[in-house]
Structure 1
Amino acid sequence: MSEILGSVEGLIPLAERMGADEVEVYVASGKSFEIEVRLGQITSSHSIFDSGIGVRAVINKAVGFGFCNSLEKKKLEEITEKAIQIARSGKPDSNWSELPYPSSFPVVRGIYDKRIIELSVEDMVEITGRMLQAASEYDRRVMPFWGGVGSGYAVRGIINNHGVEVSEKGTMIGCVMGTIAREGYQVTPECSESDYKRSLNINPENVGREAARQAIDSLRPKKVETGVYPVILAQDALTSLLTYTLVPTISGDNIIRDKSAYKDKIGTLVASEILTIEDDGVMERGLSTCAFDGEGTSSQKTIIIQNGILKSFIFDNYFGRRAGAKSTGNAKRGGYAATPSISPTNLYVKEGDKNPDKMVSEIDDGFFIRDLQGAHSSNSESGEVSVVATPCWKIEKGEIKNPIKGAMLAGNIYNMLKDIKCIGNNIRQLAYLVAPWISFEKVRIVGET
């Protein structure tokens, strides 16, 4: 890992000689490999190797940025010069403070597995085949519509002229399967399952079977009457919903821009007292776990909501300083071609004491919603949501029964968070969210007319 920083450390004195007050170099190198499934067949594979840098230069509080997909010395020097030119011609930002300074970095565990790097093409095809076979054999009415298996590794590092110099390596592997079921002229909505890990312990058979089971269970749907019902949201639905509501609300940039429903509510009750949410950048084996964020600030655990009370927001270095706070280690990058932006790491909803069966058994007339569509249209400032619930099933007298056709969930997410009935103990990570099922007491469900 020291080699990746060694290839760019000469750019710091070069930028300073060119007139930079501050300079930061972000460097990344990695490889990914993917097997693709379409219409029940393994159809293609592709491998990508990519390396590059992103340079931020600051002159008189004006920030310039440049990037290139090469680690060749001449290219590195050219892109550094371009970042300097942009900063020199740019408009000063009176709110700019400074780039981060060195700090101690946590020891993170479970984010690198050499076995993933050593996987052959044959290994990847075999894993994909196991997932595909499990879905196909579950029921002849199931069609594995799309899916795939992907793996990769990455090395990234950051160096700046304040003395930050840190690097890290990580791996990832995952599989996903989308299915439909056909019976006569009836075709179900798409149902999917996935499994992503930082180490080589995914379960492709379970992914295939579960995607197939959902599709079969979605056959012969019924309509539902509009009304207010108790509702259980699974992790997929929670991820869809919170991505476009709660996450923007707790992001420090929206606090500064006065676009957050939670502004000026630190220390007040904003949710049910049984709800605790943390942003945990150092969680063992977390999909977003890292020792440092996208600008070299050490990762940490930040309590967002504790027993319903709002405790903190998440910040990068820039907006943290503007808010009179510190960075919480939440500056994320989409790669070397992007500047940092605020994003959660592992957003952890603390599990409750109810197993899933118990949660269902306590509902006499309600719904279990696996996923939601259209959550991107939600209004994070007002909290208003109107989304399609699919796949979705009716709960009757404590049992999950028939699938539901054309139902919509409508309401206000911030009111829903205050109206939580119970929280499950079936914790699972999907993307950035680490959460169990959550049961809400009263949710408006709009039936198909």
Structure 2
Amino acid sequence: MNKEQWIKRALQKGIEAFEIYQSVQTEKSITWFDGHMDTMTTSHVLGTSIRGIYDGNMANIAMEEVNDDQMDDVLDELIEQAKVITTKDKDVLRKPESFDDVESPKDWVAPTTDDIKDCLMSLEKELLAYDPRVIQVASLGWEESTSSREITNSYGMHVADQTQVQYLIASVVVRENDVIKDDYQIEIIENLNQFDHQAFVKKLCDKALFKLHATSLKSGEYPVIFSYEAMTSLFGSFVNFFNGDLIYKGISPIKDKLNERIFSNKITIIDDPQNTDCLTIANFDDEGCPTRAKVLVNDGIFANMLHDTKSGNRMGMESTGNGFKSGYAGAVSVQPMNCYIEPGQYTLDELCEQMKDGVVITDLQGLHAGLDFVSGNFSLQASGYTVKDGKKDHALALITVADNFLELMNKVVEVGNDLDWQYHQVASPSIRFTKCAISGQ
């Protein structure tokens, strides 16, 4: 694609501002089953999205294949799209700005296909040998991908970056008498030669085996701890409370609460796309706006909201560098990146000791249907375990946990120190609450 020619021709046709966004995604996936490599797939996808402003309106066209011979046809289509747009919002493309070029400290070492196969073969044997109650390795696989993006526009912007990730995923099925349970584990692996097989096998199998004796619980209100896994899921479902676009539209329940207390004073929330502890970092968003760290909640006070260029303009504010796409063909929208609840000082075991008796929620299900974003209410299927005399007691299943997120976040006793990003872009440590309604027997 001759980008200079596209930009020149767009301006000649009366397009006021023009942008070319390109992404390249390269992936390799290997799955293993019953002693053999089951599948191996590779892909390489180049995607191009162009945006242009004509008569004050912005239109967008996405393409997988770009042919310079189609330049005039594509630009004419872009103009026709812009002509039928009736929004009153003033659309703009961003001009180039300087930004801090933060580099990820991760040192990815790509393994050979043979190394991956040897690892998966060995891991399957180790999982099955861990305990006779492990009856099947239901899934086992390796995933790796490299993504790059590049933004060029008629104002002279030209920015580019690249990210990489590789991870292993496994799930096991366990059985004792007529009771069958399963669980899974994902591990981000920078260097396969440094992968701790034994620790991975133990963690996965112990999680699954612990579920075999799970019981329900008498319905009532209990002191509760949401483990980092469950709390990350719950927080991720409500993080768009801070979405400036939803606040502007009146959808967020904290729309009128800027600079007011919304959570316990033990809660501080930060969004930082340049956080080097995270799997992926971004020095600029998908509009080319420099990213930066923002404190969204400071000791319980709602301090800042997230914006892209459009939502910021609507509210008379600057973009916070949170205009991201869900894919090259997607529209820019306000999205958190590397957003987290600031960790405290206690381990999960210490939180249990402090609670003495209560419930730890480790997993939540039905997040797509069991919560109401506008009100903050949720009622979700859950699993976890009881705590007795400060120690982990027995597994729980077939329970439902219900509350209101805003009210729950005002019942914080302590925040744990076990923030674990893994593959998430929104994360939370374990949090202990005074009480929460749990339905069971």
The TM-score, its normalising length taken from structure 2, stands at 0.93
Q: Using the aligned pairs only, state the percent identity.
A: 24
Deviation at 1:339, TM superposition (A): 1.6
Aligned to 2:16: 21
Instruction: Note closer, same or farther for the CA distance 1:173–1:261 as it changes in structure 2 (3 Å cut).
Output: same
Matches within 5 A, 1:29-108: 29-37=24-32, 42-74=37-69, 78-88=73-83, 90-108=84-102
Q: Secondary structure at the match of 2:173?
A: strand
- Provide the aligned C-alpha RMSD in A: 2.2
- Partner of 2:335 in structure 1? 343
Moved more, 199-208 or 79-88: 199-208
Deviation, 1:447, is: 0.6
In 1: Cα distance, 2:337 partner to 2:104 partner:
15
Select the residue among 145, 148, 157 that pairs with 1:164: 157
Which stretches of structure 1, 4 residues or longer, exceed 4 Å deviation after superposition?
37-42, 75-78, 111-114, 197-205
5 Å-filtered alignment, 1:280-429, equals 280-377=272-369, 378-390=371-383, 392-429=384-421
By how many angstroms is 1:239 displaced? 2.6
SS of the aligned residue for 1:284 comes to coil
**Structure 1 residue aligned with 2:271, among 279, 284, 287?**
279
Secondary structure of the corresponding residue to residue 357 of structure 1: helix
Asked if 1 retains the 8 angstrom alpha-carbon contact of 2:108 and 2:190, the reply is no
Task: Judge which range, 96-105 or 19-28, deviates more.
Answer: 96-105
Segments of structure 1 that go 5 or more residues without pairing to the other structure are: 1-5
Which one of the candidate residues 180, 184, 187 is aligned to 2:180? 187
Q: What amino acid is the match of 2:178?
A: Y
* Contact 1:113/1:171, CA 8 A, preserved across alignment: no
Does 2:206 align with 1:213?
Answer: yes
TM-score after normalising by structure 1? 0.91
**1:326-385 alpha-carbon deviations (Å, 9 max, x no partner):** 111111112221121111110122110112211111222211121100112211111100
| CA contact 2:235–2:428 (8 Å) conserved in 1 | no
Matched, 1:11 2:39: no
SS of 2:139's partner is strand
In structure 2, give the amino acid aligned to 1:219.
L
Q: Distance in 2 between matches of 1:374 and 1:105?
A: 40
Whether the aligned pair in 2 keeps the contact of 1:174 and 1:202 (CA below 8 Å) is: no
Q: Distance in 1 between matches of 2:247 and 2:377?
A: 19
Change (3 A) 1:180 1:230: farther
* 8 Å Cα contact 2:337-2:425 kept in structure 1: yes
**Contact 2:57 2:91 survives alignment (8 Å):** no
Contact 1:198 1:287 in 2 (8 A): no
**Distance in 1 (alpha carbons) for counterparts of 2:390 and 2:153:** 58
**In 1: Cα distance, 2:121 partner to 2:435 partner:** 43
Q: Hey, what does 1:110 align to over in structure 2?
A: 104
Tell me the CA shift for residue 120 of structure 1: 2.2
User: Unaligned regions of 5+ residues in structure 2, if any?
Assistant: none
In 1, the alpha carbon distance for the partners of 2:279 and 2:47 equals 23
Answer yes or no: is the 8 Å Cα contact 2:228–2:418 preserved in 1: no
Aligned pair in 2 of structure 1 residues 126, 344: CA closer, same or farther (>3 Å)? farther
- Give 1:414's aligned amino acid: L
Q: 1:202 to 1:252 in 2, by over 3 A?
A: farther
State the SS of the aligned residue for 2:408: helix
Rounded to whole Å, the distance in 1 between the matches of 2:281 and 2:21 is 18
Stretch of structure 1 that moved more, 439-448 or 9-18: 9-18
Equivalent residue, structure 2, for 1:3: none
Q: How many residues align?
A: 437
Q: Deviations over 1:17-73 (max 9, x none)?
A: 222112111001121111124578642121111112001111123221111112443
**Structure 1 residues 168 and 76: CA distance shift in structure 2, 3 A:** farther
The amino acid that maps onto 2:234 is: L
CA contact under 8 A between 1:61 and 1:94: conserved in structure 2? no
Cα pair distance change 1:133/1:16, threshold 3 Å:
farther
Match of 2:168 among 172, 175, 178: 175
Distance 2:65 2:366 in 1: 39
In 2, Cα distance between the equivalents of 1:131 and 1:303? 42
